[in-house]
């Protein structure tokens, strides 16, 4: 019954187990790895038939994590988001630090806006930024108006200190948020 | 062909000189002591206003004098017209025959108004329907600076990079030529100029890493006759045997390549979004080139030719005659695209054919328009970032302590990125000999950062915040005597001036403020004689014309916006000092003073009963 083949298999299994036993305790200081897939098609309004769908589980993962928010802050500059939105006060594009959201205020809405672009000038970054990094940028955008936990929001600025760091941003309760498009006067 | 042109030019010249000599204000002295507009470029006023600058000399001066110091107090609204577009109205209305033509910001609607009818109803509307996404690559509000009229056609540019010819009588499209690509960050906001059957058009996008150019389209067909890039090899820049610059610093082979890090010229800016002038006598067009990209100067060591300077070119071929780089290796986004006013005036005792340019860096430059020699460069505003121009070498001496550095905030730099004055044009009155310069009094803090080039997104690499300069006022209107090289008078304004000026033979100067006041000043003293509050801030270009009824009218578009008014039109958040590249910090209170608008106001004296 004990074939050489089976013995070698069990040896291999033992070896694997032994190796595994040598592993250090696993920690995830930078957050758990997250699957690379965009959100379910986002709703175009804020009215739902029945109950609204539960939020994307990635919300918690990204918005509550200081590392992801800090990465997002850096990527926001590296991908030239600041070229149009400044440090949240806006320029060619709308401000991101206030309570007005043209295409929706949720993390999924912001993710979709970055990936898809928007008709009045927001460029599409589809296939130009890794999805994980888009989630990080989107989470950082939420931190600009105090939508993320204070403990996780960035606590300092790297450059000209244009405004207090996100950690000190007062929470601006989103108003008129309409994922489907520009219903906001004066905003594109 | 050439002989005919020279003879005709000569005839116009002689006629104009005779008319000028007949004018009493100019006949007082036999020895010329005052500046006069280049005669061949400023024919006698026919009461129309067929190009934004009024004439090729770009005087923005009307010979009408029915509205004057004595009568202006009675000036009142004759009619208004809502353009239906509430972004920044920077355009000059045009009047030709019995029709007024108005172009709006994006979506660039073109209206023809019938001036013979009460209330000037719309004759036709032309909708070019530009791409909506173009709004995302317009650096400083999606404005349009005006259209051009020639040979029964109106020529217009669209934000998404097209030039379109429209039949003036019917509003029917004749041709359209696609010139710019928004996916490279190119837009067109400038007003075209028609010279010798060619429509001159340049691109915008200096904040997006575009490569700047000026092109000439055949007015009949829309076909490209020539295209001159402002970076790259000489063959692209149209630099050939005709090129004879005055200064050694402008000489050398392929400087548009060698004064850049490898390949940086391909995304190096040098756009042409400002003003073009034309001297029929010398047969040269004059145009500026905008800032190099990115703003962060440490990413582009070298002089960055041919950005930040003035070109003289042959209008038939585009071949360069001379170039003068106002700001080599620009440190502060100082586009050299402001108005170019062609004046003949005594300089050190001899008459010179000059081109006068109130520059963004705070100096008013007087150049010999035949050679490109700088005859003088005097500060007209507060400057601490440079100390002056060496006329022998043409070099501007910069102040090292105010030069932007990576990883450091350089504080209190004057003037700012938009400069002592930006695009909004001055006017020149031959009666007073004064240039009326609308400008600003702002300073800034600057921190450079490394800019990443991603096509279709901004390529800037600087964080800026602006604030009021010494004295606390943010705007100023200065009357400048180009012969005496001194200010005759000036008027302080609370907000930066972003409107053009108009001067008239009634010895009045008209301009608008960002709060919405439209004002008339005494052209000789600066005393305010009349004001009217329009619906929104004024950043447009006022004009004067003779209506079909023979009366004088003054027209201006009201509607705040542009870079200076971004805080209002974009509803930006002033808590971020760097919003709108730092301009919001300087005008955070503008939201309390005005709202968006888009209305034409036309003024006249009460009609006699």
Backbone dihedral angles phi then psi of residue B506, each to the nearest 5 degrees: -75, 10
> Which residue out of B333, B359, B422, B445 is catalytically annotated?
B333
Residues of B in contact with A99 (CB under 8 A): none
Q: For residues B93 and B512, what is the distance between their CA atoms, to the nearest angstrom?
A: 15
CATH 1.10.760.10 fits A56-181, yes or no: yes
A152 SS3 class: coil
Structure confidence at residue B17 as a pLDDT band (50, 70, 90): very low
pLDDT digits (tens, 9 = 90+) for B32-67: 788 999 999 999 999 999 999 999 999 999 999 999
Map tokens 């539960």 to a residue.
Answer: A54
Cα–Cα nearest to B101, from B39, B152, B59, B60:
B152
**Subunit contact A160:B409, Cβ cutoff 8 A:** yes
Arithmetic mean of pLDDT, B514-535: 98
**Subunit contact B135:A188, Cβ cutoff 8 A:** yes
> Residue B422 in contact with residue B498, Cβ under 8 Å?
yes
Strand partners, B474: none
B144 is catalytic: no
pLDDT digits (tens, 9 = 90+) for B283-311: 999 999 999 999 999 999 999 999 999 99
Show Cβ contacts of residue B427 under 8 Å, excluding neighbours closer than 6 positions. B59, B60, B61, B435, B436, B500, B501, B502, B503, B509
Q: For residues A35 and B541, what is the distance between their CA atoms, to the nearest angstrom?
A: 56
The bridge status of strand B148-150 relative to strand B599-604 is: unpaired
Q: CB pairs below 8 Å between A and B: how many?
A: 122
Per-residue pLDDT for B15 more than 90?
Answer: no
DSSP class of residue B182 equals G
> Which residue out of B45, B207, B330, B515 is catalytically annotated?
B207
B2 is catalytic: no
Per-residue pLDDT for A188 more than 50?
Answer: no
Per-residue pLDDT for A5 more than 70?
Answer: no
B463 is catalytic: no
Work out the percent of chain B whose per-residue pLDDT is above 70: 95
pLDDT digits (tens, 9 = 90+) for B90-114: 999 999 999 999 999 999 999 999 9
**Subunit contact A90:B573, Cβ cutoff 8 A:** yes
**Subunit contact A121:B137, Cβ cutoff 8 A:** yes
CATH 3.40.47.10 fits B31-604, yes or no: no
pLDDT at A32: 54
pLDDT digits (tens, 9 = 90+) for B329-356: 999 999 999 999 999 999 999 999 999 9
pLDDT digits (tens, 9 = 90+) for B192-233: 999 999 999 999 999 999 999 999 999 999 999 999 999 999
Domains in chain B: boundaries: 31-604
Structure confidence at residue A159 as a pLDDT band (50, 70, 90): confident
Lowest mean pLDDT across A167-176, B258-267, B367-376, B503-512: A167-176
Domains in chain A: boundaries: 56-181
Nearest to B576 among A80, A86, A121 (CB): A86
**Subunit contact B571:A93, Cβ cutoff 8 A:** no
Rounded to two decimals, the ipTM of the complex is 0.92
pLDDT digits (tens, 9 = 90+) for B110-140: 999 999 999 999 999 999 999 999 999 999 9
Show Cβ contacts of residue A79 under 8 Å, excluding neighbours closer than 6 positions. A125, A128, A129, A137, B452, B454, B457
């Amino acid at each position: 019954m004990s074939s050489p083949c089976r013995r070698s298999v069990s040896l291999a299994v033992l070896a694997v187990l032994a190796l595994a036993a040598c592993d250090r305790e696993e920690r995830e200081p930078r957050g758990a790895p997250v699957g690379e897939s965009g959100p379910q098609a986002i709703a175009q309004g804020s009215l739902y038939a029945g109950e609204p769908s539960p939020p994307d589980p990635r919300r918690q993962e990204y918005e509550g994590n200081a590392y992801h928010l800090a990465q997002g802050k850096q990527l926001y500059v590296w991908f030239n988001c600041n070229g149009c939105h400044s440090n949240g006060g806006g320029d060619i594009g709308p401000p991101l630090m206030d309570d007005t959201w043209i295409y929706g205020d949720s993390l999924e809405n912001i993710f979709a806006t970055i990936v898809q672009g928007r008709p009045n000038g927001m460029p599409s970054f589809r296939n130009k930024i890794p999805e994980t990094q888009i989630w990080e940028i989107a989470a950082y955008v939420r931190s600009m108006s105090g939508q993320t936990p204070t403990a996780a929001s960035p606590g300092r600025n790297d450059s000209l200190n244009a405004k207090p760091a996100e950690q000190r941003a007062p929470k601006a309760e989103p108003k008129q948020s309409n994922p489907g498009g520009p219903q906001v006067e004066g905003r594109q | 062909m050439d002989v005919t042109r020279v003879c005709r030019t000569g005839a116009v010249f002689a006629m104009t000189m005779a008319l000028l000599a007949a004018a009493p204000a100019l006949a007082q002295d036999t020895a010329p002591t005052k500046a006069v507009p280049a005669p061949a470029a400023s024919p006698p006023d026919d009461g129309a206003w067929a190009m934004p600058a009024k004439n090729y000399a770009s005087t923005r001066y009307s010979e009408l004098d029915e509205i004057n110091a004595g009568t202006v107090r009675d000036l009142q609204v004759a009619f208004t017209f809502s353009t239906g577009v509430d972004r920044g109205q920077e355009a000059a209305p045009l009047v030709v025959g019995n029709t007024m033509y108005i172009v709006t910001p994006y979506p660039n609607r073109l209206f023809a108004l019938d001036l013979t009818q009460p209330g000037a109803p719309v004759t036709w509307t032309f909708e070019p329907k530009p791409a909506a996404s173009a709004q995302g690559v317009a650096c400083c509000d999606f404005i349009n600076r005006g259209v051009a009229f020639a040979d029964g056609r109106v020529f217009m540019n669209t934000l998404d990079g097209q030039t379109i010819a429209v039949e003036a009588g019917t509003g029917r499209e004749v041709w359209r030529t696609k010139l710019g690509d928004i996916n490279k960050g190119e837009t067109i906001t400038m007003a075209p100029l028609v010279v010798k059957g060619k429509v001159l058009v340049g691109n915008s996008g200096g904040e997006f890493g575009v490569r700047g150019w000026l092109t000439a389209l055949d007015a009949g067909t829309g076909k490209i006759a020539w295209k001159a890039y402002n970076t790259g090899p000489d063959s692209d820049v149209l630099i050939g045997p005709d090129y004879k610059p005055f200064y050694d610093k402008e000489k050398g082979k392929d400087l548009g390549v060698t004064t850049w890090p490898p390949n940086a010229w391909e995304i190096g800016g040098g756009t042409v979004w400002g003003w073009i002038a034309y001297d029929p006598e010398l047969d040269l067009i004059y145009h500026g080139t905008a800032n190099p990209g990115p703003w962060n100067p440490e990413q582009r060591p070298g002089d960055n030719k041919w950005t930040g300077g003035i070109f003289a070119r042959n209008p038939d071929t585009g071949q360069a005659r001379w170039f003068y780089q106002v700001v080599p290796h620009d440190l502060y986004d100082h586009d050299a695209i402001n108005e170019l006013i062609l004046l003949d005036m005594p300089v050190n005792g001899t008459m010179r054919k000059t081109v006068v340019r109130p520059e963004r860096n705070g100096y008013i430059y007087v150049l010999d328009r035949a050679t490109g020699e700088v005859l003088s460069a005097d500060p007209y505003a507060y400057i601490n970032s440079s100390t002056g121009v060496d006329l022998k070498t043409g070099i501007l001496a910069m102040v090292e302590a105010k030069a932007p550095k990576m990883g450091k905030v350089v504080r209190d730099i004057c003037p700012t990125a938009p400069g002592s004055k930006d695009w909004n044009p001055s006017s020149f009155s031959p009666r007073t000999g004064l240039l009326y310069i609308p400008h600003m009094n702002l300073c800034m803090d600057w921190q450079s950062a490394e800019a990443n080039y991603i096509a279709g997104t901004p390529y800037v690499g600087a964080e800026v915040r602006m604030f009021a300069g010494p004295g606390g006022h943010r705007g100023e209107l200065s009357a400048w005597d180009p012969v005496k090289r001194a200010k005759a008078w000036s008027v302080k304004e609370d907000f930066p001036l972003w409107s053009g000026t108009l001067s008239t033979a009634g010895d009045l100067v008209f301009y608008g403020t960002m709060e919405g006041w439209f004002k008339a000043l005494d052209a000789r003293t600066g005393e305010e004689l009349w004001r009217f509050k329009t619906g929104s801030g004024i950043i447009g270009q006022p004009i004067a014309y003779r209506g079909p009824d023979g009366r004088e009218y003054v027209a201006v578009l009201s509607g705040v916006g542009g870079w200076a008014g971004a805080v209002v039109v974009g509803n930006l958040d002033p808590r971020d000092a760097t919003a709108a590249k730092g301009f919001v910090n300087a005008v955070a209170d503008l939201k309390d003073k005005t709202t968006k608008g888009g209305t034409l106001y036309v003024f006249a004296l009460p009609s006699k009963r």
